[in-house]
Homo-oligomer: A and B are copies of this chain.
C-alpha cells in the first residue's frame, strides 16, 4: 500500500470518463422509464428478463442472477411489481423453499408497450453514437471488466468471458 502504483494520465482519463458514464447513465434510463411507464430501469429490466424466460417464469434466485441483484433487493422489487399486478409469485413444487415469479398478462403487455420507448432511449444515449467496431470494442472491454466484477460468473448466460 506504500506504493499505490498510481494511474497513468491516460488510464486516469479513461477511468474518470467511465465513472461519469456509470453515474449518469442510470438517471437517464430511470427518467425516461419513470416518465413514460412509471417504472425504474431496474423494474423494467426485471420484467424484460422474465418476458424472455420460458413460460415467462423464473425462480427468484435465477432472476436475481439475471439481473445482478441481491435476493433481498429482488424480493422487495417483485413485491412492488406484484402489488401493481405485473408479476405473480407461486411456490415451487419441486423445491418447497423456492418461489417462482412469473409475468402476468398485464405485465407482458406492459413490457411490450414500454420496450419501444426504452430502446429509443438506449439508441439515443448510447448505441447510435457508436459505429460497428466501437460496439465490438465496447463488448470486449466490458467483458473483461465483468470477468473481474463477477467472479462467480453468474452472467454466463450472456458470456462474461
Chain A interface residues (CB < 8 Å from chain B): 1-2, 4-7, 10-11, 13-26, 28, 45, 68-69, 115-117, 119-120, 122-127, 129-130, 132, 134-150, 155, 158-160
Contact = CB atoms under 8 A, between A and B. Distances in A.
B20 A68 contact: yes
B134 A144 contact: yes
A148 B120 contact: no
B122 A15 contact: yes
13 contacts: A6-B119, A13-B139, A17-B138, A17-B143, A21-B22, A21-B149, A22-B25, A23-B68, A24-B68, A126-B148, A130-B145, A134-B137, A134-B141
A127 B11 contact: yes
Given A18-B142, A20-B155, 7 more contacts: A2-B116, A15-B127, A17-B143, A20-B149, A126-B145, A130-B144, A137-B137
Copies of this chain held together in the complex: 2
A125 B148 contact: yes
A19 to B, nearest CB: 7
A130 B123 contact: no
A69 B4 CA distance: 28
Nearest to A14: B139
A123 B4 CA distance: 10
Contacts of A10: 132, 135-136, 139
